């Protein structure tokens, strides 16, 4: 027993001193910690500047060539240490760290005698490239198959290296890695690769790439290749590059934008579309300049700049110019130029507590969008609007300032309305007589409210073709306006709200409308027939003087005021039932009565122009010198009118057997009836009675809007009112002038499916297993493909009674149906219906557009067809923007649309 103990003790001492001798590369302290199956061993350097430092515990000298810093290593499976060979071998999720260099692998061996680390990775056991173990050096990171790394030289030889730089995946069959610290002539780490592949496909075996015999990579800077060849699915193609440079700079970098498509058109010739250059201007702003060019002269240029400053603002600027050149019927070149300007600016809410600036500006001329793009939105949209403003609110003050530019444009009629500038100073309503430290009951005069606002603006109506001409300047309207109002409110009989008010406004017009008669004689010749000899018989009409309209510079005030008092309340009529399907009905009526007075402005401001310079034939024509859309300065006779209106809501309750609960529903959400009686008028004192209503039906899927007009007077043949009341002539109160109804429905196939399944409209949206909530989830049935497909239906009808036949005329002014949406045929295939509309009135389709797309992992394939314009396109290309010049794009453009034929139907 004693001998056994002695042998065991001797073995322990032998192992202890052997470990100390072998640890020439480490400190005298060795720490071993074990967590689960992971063993991490740390060697801590205690060397001094003296290369012959002797360990005080053992008296062993440390070699000059020994590793001088901590080496951490571990493995999830097992590790093997050889004291004789001075090696460590790690298995299963092995890792080793030395300075800023680390290696992860399936197995790693460290040879301390040679200062080498060898690693191996079995790539076949990993499904995604993101899961590959990697080696890292500073910010450089790469996956590999085999690796040999020298701790002293910091160089590595790598087989099957795979590194990602931005959107690029760089693969090398045999590679050499050189750390910048190992060579004083290098400023960055470098990979030298042989038989390399550059791609943007992240598949383990890339679907495409540029195969290069030699590749030099400077991480985060540049990749340089020698002779290279495009390779698709491992098959070389005839496309060869003699050399290439690929920027690997992270973030923004300048670069060429390859053409989006290569076109050929019989009239335009060969051309490139969307070729250009991108460059960042600074840390906050960039620029993208692209253009189109065709061999027969057609060209276009577009400049787009995006800017952003964190916690301050964001926006973009877009400028476009297009010049389409085609030959006319005589063979002469014909040019159609168009221009577009777009600005969008949004200020961050945290930028300033009192000042904001932002909005959008969208200007275009000569059908720019319709002639440049083919999508349904660009072709069918005929209106554009702009609103850009600066707003400032004074702190602790009711005043605020707004300066804005406004614009509206109809691209079909080419009419433009521009307001520049519009400045307004407004005051929030205040209570001028309210006590600051009031106590007790509020007095009646404390409820008096004062409001005030002032503004000035310039306004012009023009066309996009005359925008930058003197004609636009001649038609500018300018003026200033300020208005004040005083009001209060109180209750009468506890249930009636009474609100008296006084309003006053004053407008100064700096340019007014003027009509003048010149003394020109105008002869209008009209052919009315032919004589027996075949000669034409003409009639000559002579006009003695022509009326000319223009705006002239002047300074003329317009003043107006009105006073009024209104009263309103609410009435409830309810009927309940204890059994049956209908459990209750309720009618909410909100009657309102208003009495107001406004003075006569027609006799004060009306002006007249002669219609004929001959006195005996002259019949002066009245006109308003303030007409236009600058400010509302209507000229009216004196009015003292009593107005009335009743807003009605009809709703009820029904018993749901499914939920055993009573649920509410509405017949009509709002039905308004109103009219007035003018005491100051000498005739036609009663106004027409208007009826307007709206409601939602089919569980909110459809909207129904109705409007009707009834008159208490007889109408003549031209549907104008006469001064004869129907109650006197026909013994009835009112007669119908017209009735109009608009029925709009918008529904998706998913909602139709829910209706048939008895689900609530938003029930599937509330569930977590909804198909639309998880796009990658497989479809459960065939109908799931159409869940995002939308159907829109619009029907507008009008009924107008005939005064002569006594029969009503039914007119359908609008009747159309539209289909839009996407159909995912599979996880990779989809069909997009941009617009598929049919107009039942014109009996034609309205600009249909279709496309389908196929996701090819790292490639995209699509086909688009616009039959109304005889335009189609086919595209297949790399998805990544870095290599988007690798593509095939074929299409046809119809040159007829370049000269105003919008092609809205067929």
Give the model's pLDDT for residue 252.
62
Average pLDDT of 270-277? Answer: 81
pLDDT band of residue 129 (cuts 50, 70, 90) is low
Alpha carbon distance 438, 894 (integer Å): 76
Q: How far is CA 723 from the centre of its chain?
A: 55
Q: Which two tokens stand for residue 605?
A: 């401001």
Query: Residue 779: pLDDT band by 50, 70, 90 thresholds?
Result: low
- C-alpha distances (whole Å) from 801 to each of 714, 737, 808, 818, 841 are 13, 7, 4, 31, 22
Mean pLDDT of the chain: 80
Q: Per residue in 213-245, is it b (16+ CB within 10 Å) or e — as a string?
A: eebebbbeeebebeebebbeeeeeeeeeeeeee
Instruction: Give pLDDT tens digits for 246-259.
Output: 777 666 667 777 77
494 to 431, 498, 513, 591: CA distances (angstroms): 23, 11, 51, 16
First-to-last C-alpha distance (Å) of the chain: 108
Map residue 836 onto helix, strand or coil. strand
List Cβ neighbours of 207 (8 Å cut-off, separation of 6 or more).
199, 201, 232, 233, 856, 857, 858, 859
Q: Which tokens is 42 given?
A: 């740390």
Q: Does residue 510 contact residue 553 with C-beta atoms inside 8 Å?
A: yes
Own/partner contacts of 51-60, CB < 8 Å, gap of 24 or more, are 55/28, 57/20, 57/28, 58/17, 58/20, 58/21, 58/28, 60/20, 60/21, 60/24
Answer yes or no: is pLDDT of 835 > 60. Answer: yes
Residue 513 Cα distances to 90, 451, 560, angstroms: 94, 31, 19
Place 776 in a pLDDT band, splitting at 50, 70 and 90: very low
Higher pLDDT, 727 or 6: 727
701: helix, coil or strand?
coil
Percent of the chain whose predicted confidence (pLDDT) is above 70:
84
What CA–CA distance (Å, rounded) separates 502 from 310?
48
pLDDT at 804 over 80: no
Any idea which residue has 């092995």 for tokens?
A: 94
The neighbouring-strand residues paired with 846 are 837, 905
**How much is the average pLDDT of 474-499?**
92
The DSSP letter of residue 11 is: H
> Which range is most confident: 53-62, 199-208, 419-428, 839-848?
419-428
- As a whole number, mean pLDDT of residues 365-391 equals 80
Residue scoring higher pLDDT (747 or 245): 747
In order, the DSSP letters of 19-82 are HHHHGGGS-S-EEEEEETTEEEEEE-----S-TT-B-TTT-PBPPTTS--S-EEEE-SSEEEEE
Q: Would you state the pLDDT for residue 177?
A: 84
Mean pLDDT lowest among 153-157, 249-253, 786-790, 805-809: 249-253
Smallest CA-to-CA distance from 108 within 93, 122, 123 is with: 93
- The model's pLDDT over 535-574, given as tens digits with 9 standing for 90+, comes to 777 777 777 778 888 889 989 999 999 999 999 999 999 9
- Partnered with residue 337 across adjacent β-strands are 323
Q: CA 420 to CA 640: how far, in whole Å?
A: 37
Per 3-state DSSP, what percentage of the chain is helix, strand, and coil (rounded to 5)? 10, 60, 30
C-beta separation of 862 from 889 below 8 A: no
Q: What is the mean pLDDT of residues 752-781?
A: 53
> How many angstroms separate the CA atoms of 656 and 718, rounded?
53
15-39 average pLDDT score: 36
Cis peptide before 421 (omega within 30 of 0): yes
Phi, psi of 241 (to 5 degrees): -115, 130
Kindly provide the b/e burial profile for residues 881-905, where b requires at least 16 CB atoms within 10 angstroms of the residue's own CB: ebbbebbebebebbbebbeeebbbe
| Chain segment 85-126, per-residue pLDDT in tens | 888 888 888 888 878 788 888 899 988 888 888 998 887 777
Share above pLDDT 90 across residues of the chain, in percent, rounded to a whole number: 26
691 vs 859, which has greater pLDDT? 691
Query: Three-class SS string for 348-414?
Result: CCCCCCCEEEEEEEEEEECCHHHHHCCCHHHHHCCEEEEEEEEEEECCCCCEEEEEEEEEEEECCCC
pLDDT of residue 802: 74
Closest CA to 171 of 159, 181, 163, 180: 163
Question: What sign for the dihedral angle of Cα 572, 573, 577, 580?
Answer: negative
Higher pLDDT, 307 or 32: 307
Quick: pLDDT tens for 31-80: 333 333 333 343 333 333 444 444 444 455 555 555 566 778 888 888 88
Which of 9-23, 541-555, 676-690, 739-753 has the lowest average pLDDT? 9-23
pLDDT, one tens digit per residue, over 613-661 is 888 888 899 999 998 889 989 898 899 999 999 999 999 998 888 777 8
């Amino acid at each position: 027993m004693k001998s056994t103990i002695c042998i065991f003790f001797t073995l322990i001492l032998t192992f202890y001193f052997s470990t100390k001798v072998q640890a020439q590369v480490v400190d005298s302290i060795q720490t071993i910690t074990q967590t689960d199956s992971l063993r991490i061993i740390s060697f801590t350097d205690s060397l001094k500047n003296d290369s012959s430092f002797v360990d005080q515990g053992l008296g062993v000298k440390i070699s000059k060539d020994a590793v001088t810093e901590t080496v951490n290593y571990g493995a999830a499976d097992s590790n093997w240490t050889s004291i004789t060979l001075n090696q460590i071998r790690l298995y299963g999720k092995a890792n080793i760290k030395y300075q800023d260099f680390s290696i992860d692998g399936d197995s790693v061996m460290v040879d301390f005698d040679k200062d080498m680390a060898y690693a191996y990775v079995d790539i076949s056991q990993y499904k995604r490239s993101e899961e590959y173990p990697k080696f890292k050096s500073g910010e450089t990171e790469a996956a590999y198959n085999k690796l040999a790394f020298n701790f002293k030289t910091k160089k590595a030889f790598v087989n099957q290296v795979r590194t990602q730089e931005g959107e690029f995946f760089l693969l090398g069959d045999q590679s050499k890695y050189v750390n910048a610290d190992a060579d004083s002539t290098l400023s960055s780490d470098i990979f030298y690769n042989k038989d390399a592949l550059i791609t943007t496909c992240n598949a383990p075996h890339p679907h495409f790439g540029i195969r290069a015999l030699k590749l030099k990579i400077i991480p985060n800077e540049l990749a340089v290749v020698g002779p290279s060849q495009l390779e698709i699915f491992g098959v070389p193609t005839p496309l060869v590059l003699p050399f290439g440079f690929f920027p690997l700079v992270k973030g923004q970098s300048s670069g060429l934008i390859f053409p989006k498509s290569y076109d050929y058109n019989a009239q335009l010739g060969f051309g490139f579309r969307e070729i250009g250059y991108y460059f960042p201007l600074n840390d906050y702003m960039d620029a993208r300049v692209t253009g189109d060019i065709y061999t027969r002269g057609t060209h276009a240029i577009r400049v787009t700049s995006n800017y952003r400053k964190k916690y301050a603002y964001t926006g973009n600027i877009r400028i476009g110019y297009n010049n389409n050149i085609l030959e006319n019927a005589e063979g002469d070149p014909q040019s159609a130029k168009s221009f577009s300007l777009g600005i969008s600016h949004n200020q961050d809410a945290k930028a300033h507590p009192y000042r904001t600036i932002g909005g959008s500006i969208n200007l275009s001329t000569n059908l720019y969008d319709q002639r440049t793009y083919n999508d349904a939105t660009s072709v069918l949209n005929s209106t554009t609007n702009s609103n850009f403003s600066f707003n400032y609110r004074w702190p602790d003050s009711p005043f605020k300032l707004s300066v804005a530019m406004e614009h509206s444009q109809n691209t079909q009629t080419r009419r433009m309305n521009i307001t520049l500038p519009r400045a307004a100073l407004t005051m929030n309503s205040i209570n001028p007589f309210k006590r600051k430290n009031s106590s007790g009951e509020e007095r009646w005069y404390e409820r008096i409210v004062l409001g005030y606002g002032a503004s000035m603006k310039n306004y012009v109506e023009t066309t996009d073709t005359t925008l930058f001409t003197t004609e636009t300047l001649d038609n500018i309207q300018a003026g200033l306006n300020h208005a004040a109002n005083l009001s209060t409110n109180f209750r009468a009989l506890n249930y009636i709200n009474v609100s008296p008010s006084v309003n006053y406004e004053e407008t100064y017009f700096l340019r007014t409308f003027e009509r003048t008669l010149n003394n020109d004689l105008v002869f209008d010749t009209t052919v009315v027939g032919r004589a027996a000899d075949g000669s034409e018989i003409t009639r000559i009409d002579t006009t003695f003087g022509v009326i000319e309209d223009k705006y002239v510079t002047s300074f003329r005030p317009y003043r107006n005021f009105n006073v009024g008092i209104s009263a309103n309340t609410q009435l409830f009529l309810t009927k309940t039932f204890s059994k049956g399907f209908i459990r209750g009905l309720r009618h909410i009526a909100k009657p309102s009565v208003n009495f107001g007075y406004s003075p006569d402005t027609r006799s004060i401001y009306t002006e007249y122009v002669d219609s004929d310079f001959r006195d005996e034939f002259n019949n002066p024509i009245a006109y308003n010198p303030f007409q236009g859309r600058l400010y509302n300065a209507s000229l009216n006779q004196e009015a003292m009118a009593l107005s009335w209106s009743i807003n009605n809501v009809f709703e009820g309750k029904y018993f749901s057997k499914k939920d055993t609960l009573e649920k509410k529903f509405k017949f009509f959400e709002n039905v308004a009836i109103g009219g007035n009686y003018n005491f100051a008028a000498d005739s036609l004192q009663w106004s027409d009675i208007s009826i307007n209503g709206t409601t939602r039906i089919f569980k909110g899927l459809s909207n129904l809007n109705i409007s009707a007009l009834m008159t208490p007077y007889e109408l003549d043949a031209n549907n104008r009112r006469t001064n004869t009341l129907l109650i006197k002539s026909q013994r009835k109160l009112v007669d119908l002038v017209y009735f109009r109804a608009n029925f709009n429905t918008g529904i998706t196939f998913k909602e139709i499916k829910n209706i048939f399944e008895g689900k609530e409209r938003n029930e599937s949206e509330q569930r977590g297993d909804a198909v639309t909530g998880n796009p990658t989830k497989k479809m459960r049935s065939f109908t799931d493909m159409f869940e995002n497909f939308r159907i829109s239906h619009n029907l507008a009808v009008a009924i107008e009674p005939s005064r002569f036949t006594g029969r009503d005329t039914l007119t359908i002014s609008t009747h159309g149906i539209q289909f839009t949406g996407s159909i995912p045929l599979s996880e990779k295939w989809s069909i997009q219906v941009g617009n598929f509309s049919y107009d039942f009135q014109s009996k034609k389709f309205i600009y249909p557009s279709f496309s389908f797309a196929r996701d090819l992992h790292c490639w995209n394939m699509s086909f688009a067809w616009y039959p109304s314009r005889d335009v189609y396109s086919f595209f297949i290309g790399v998805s990544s923007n870095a290599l988007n010049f690798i593509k095939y794009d074929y299409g046809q453009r119809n040159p007829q649309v370049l000269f105003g034929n919008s092609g809205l139907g067929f």
